[in-house]
Amino acid sequence: MLKFLGCGSAFNTTLGNTSAYIKKDKSLLLIDCGGTVFSTLREKSLLEGVDGLHIFITHTHPDHVGSLGDLIFYCKYILRITPTIYFPHFDILQSFFTSIGIEEDVYIERSSWSVTIHDACLGEVHALFNGIKHTKKIPACCVLFKIDGKRIYYSGDSREIFPDTIDMLREGFIDFLYQDTCGFDYKGNVHMAISRLESLIPVELRNKVYCIHHDESLDLQRVINLGFQVPGEVKLP
CB atoms within 10 A of CB 190: 16
210 contacts 178 by C-beta, under 8 angstroms: yes
- DSSP-derived letter for residue 235 is P
Q: At residue 218, does pLDDT exceed 70?
A: yes
196 contacts 178 by C-beta, under 8 angstroms: no
Cα distance between residue 152 and residue 212, in whole Å: 14
Across the chain, mean pLDDT equals 96
Q: At residue 30, does pLDDT exceed 90?
A: yes
Report the share of the chain in percent with pLDDT over 70. Answer: 99
**Using one digit for the tens of pLDDT, what is the confidence trace for 147-182?**
999 999 999 999 999 999 999 999 999 999 999 999
Q: What are phi and psi of 212, to 5 degrees?
A: -130, 175
209 contacts 229 by C-beta, under 8 angstroms: yes
Cα distance between residue 193 and residue 198, in whole Å: 9
Overall average pLDDT of the 34-43 stretch: 98
**Using one digit for the tens of pLDDT, what is the confidence trace for 100-123?**
999 999 999 999 999 999 999 999
Domain positions in the chain: 3-225
pLDDT classification of 237: cutoffs 50, 70, 90 = low
**What CATH architecture applies to the domain 3-225?**
4-Layer Sandwich (3.60)
Q: Is the pTM of the predicted complex or chain greater than 0.95?
A: yes
